[in-house]
Chain A
Amino acid sequence: MRGRGAALAAAACLAALCACAPGATLRAKQEFARFGTEVRWVYAEERTPDADAVWAQLTARSDAIEADISTERAQSSVSRFNAAAAGERVSIGADAYKMLTVAQAVYAETAGAYNPATGLLVDLWGFSPRHRADGYAPAADYDRADYTKELPDARYLAAFFDRRLLDFGAVELGKDEDGYYAVKPEDAFVEVENAQGEAVTYTMQLNLSGIGKGYCADEGGAILRAAGVEYGYYNLGASSMLLLADPSSKDGVWKVGISSPREFSSRADYASLRARDTVLSTSGDYEQYYELHGVRYCHIIDPSTGYPVGASPEEGGAHIVCVTVAGGGAAEGDARATAISCMGRKEALAYCRAHSGTFRAVFVWYDGAGKYTVYSNLEEWTLNERSLRVEEIA
């Protein structure tokens, strides 16, 4: 018994130690202000001998993508489309074309809940890149001196909510011998009289911030796979994340925290999920917002109301405060997460249910009266915030 007991104990200790896989040294490379956020690549140092070269490829690719879609760059495809007159054909780059193609697919799939043609509304509410910068000064007729202290002029809100400006499905995309192109719909314009009595024409404006990071994650994934990188993750602003394998866990699965949208407790993450070799996309109302008269106005504009999600007078504050989508392509996931943020609860549940073969999701619904509920059909996840009620998306 003595010999067997000692042998049993030794075996158990050995088994317990074996459960802890050998750690790997994780390193990170990061850049600021890419897509208006921080981009980070985390890799296993011992298993990524050419990290500098891979990082150079990643940054070059993300720079090229941003150059093609950024509204801060006058010569980007999106800027030139936005500057075009209604009915005008604009040559666009390959990246913009691919993103717009995915965008139109998700626009149709979500019945318009994802709609990148909300550029004017985004600008009106104060969430364009120019509003992020120090030294912001009113430039457009509809600009307020301090957009965080005053609501937009109702005339402009009504004008920019015009269906002609938001009919993203009517944008024609194509490719011919001259390259890729996009055609702004002929009726995609409105006229608004400014304070001086002049009629100013506004045309459809695109904003690809709801899909750009995801597209970049997809392209980054292709670079990493081509370089033979199997471990680590590529994180764009914590809203689009490409997960490879975890070098420190036996099954390569990462444990990923999902940030709490509110201070339910001192916990940073309201939930965690286990995943590898997939993409995660998150959208939420808690990263870019301002509050006025007790109402939160966030950067996600609901195309069905023209207001930031949850802020329209009719909603009473009820809305999805955050959503994380797992699976599918990153560009699609990015757009889907944005779309779900704009949906009502029933609509979101039906959408997630209908597409559970393609992606899974978890979202937090706020009822406008102080109650939060978590809805999920993720496969391996844990609720960390025990004060929240959970219902399954089934």
Chain B
Amino acid sequence: MNRFRLVRERGLFAPFDIVVYLLLAALIAALFFVFVVADTFGADDAEGVRVQVGGETVYTYTFGEGGERAQSWEERITERTEEGVLYVRIRADAGWNELAIDDAQKTVVMHDADCSLRKDCTQMRAIGQGGSVITCIPHALKVVPLEGEDYSTPSVG
């Protein structure tokens, strides 16, 4: 009975309690969003891409800012723009690859290469449209998101 009197006198919730409960609800909602919603719907937006040949970064492109060639690769990488798409051709010792970068859509795809008749690298999904890496094995060339590959989320297939 004393406790009931106490609650009646002091009220069910003190102001500080309400603040704490609201903070707790916000924390739970944030955790739910990060670990459930964002994961479910996927966040495939890349900030840009990095092109590596034999493990060496030769070119980087940041959406909204443009591309940058590594110093020793300046003469081996050319750029041209057609209908709003930037085509970047990289000539490695083993051959050449050409990327198509759509800054407006924030996507990067392997447009062409002389690696083989099949050009398997041109069949890979665009980074920014579900793809996470584009690889040209014969040329040891790899295109990865600018922020790097996420090793914590392995993928098969």
A contact residues vs B (CB 8 Å cutoff): 1-2, 5-6, 9-10, 12-13, 16, 19, 26-28, 30, 32-33, 36-38, 42, 126, 131-134, 136, 146-148, 233, 235, 238-239, 241, 243, 246, 248, 254-261, 263, 265-269, 280, 282, 284, 286-290, 322, 324, 384
Contacts and interface: CB of A to CB of B under 8 A. Distances in A.
A78 to B, nearest CB: 20
B66 interface: no
Contacts of A263: 125, 129-130
Interface of B: 7, 10, 12-14, 16-17, 20-21, 23-24, 27-28, 31, 40, 42, 44, 54-55, 94-95, 114-118, 120, 123, 125, 129-132, 135, 137-138, 140, 142, 149, 151-157
A118 B54 CA distance: 33
Contacts of A241: 154, 156
Given A134-B115, A266-B129, 8 more contacts: A5-B14, A6-B20, A126-B117, A235-B156, A258-B156, A259-B155, A268-B125, A268-B131
A279 B114 CA distance: 35
B155 A134 contact: no
A2 B154 contact: no
A28 B151 CA distance: 8
Given A1-B12, A5-B21, A6-B16, A239 B157 contact: yes
Q: Interface residues of A: mostly helix, strand, loop or mixed?
A: mixed
B120 to A, nearest CB: 5
Contacts, number: 146
A32 B137 contact: yes
Nearest to A254: B154
A6 B130 CA distance: 44
A33 B120 contact: no
A108 B155 CA distance: 30
B118 A290 contact: yes
B138 A268 contact: no
Nearest to A240: B156
Contacts of B44: 266-268
B116 A16 contact: no
Contact of A131 (B10, B118, B156): B118
A257 B39 CA distance: 11
Given A9-B20, A126-B118, A289-B123, A239 B156 contact: yes
28 contacts: A1-B14, A1-B17, A2-B10, A5-B16, A5-B20, A5-B21, A10-B20, A13-B24, A131-B117, A133-B138, A134-B114, A148-B117, A233-B154, A241-B156, A246-B152, A255-B153, A257-B154, A258-B155, A258-B157, A259-B155, A263-B125, A263-B130, A266-B42, A266-B44, A268-B42, A282-B156, A290-B118, A384-B40
Contacts of B21: 5, 9
A36 B155 CA distance: 18
Nearest to A265: B130
Contacts of B14: 1-2, 5
Contacts of A268: 42, 44, 125, 130-132, 155
A259 B23 CA distance: 38
B16 A2 contact: yes
Given A9-B21, A16-B28, A268-B130, A132 B116 contact: yes
A289 B119 CA distance: 9
A126 B120 CA distance: 13
A269 B42 CA distance: 9
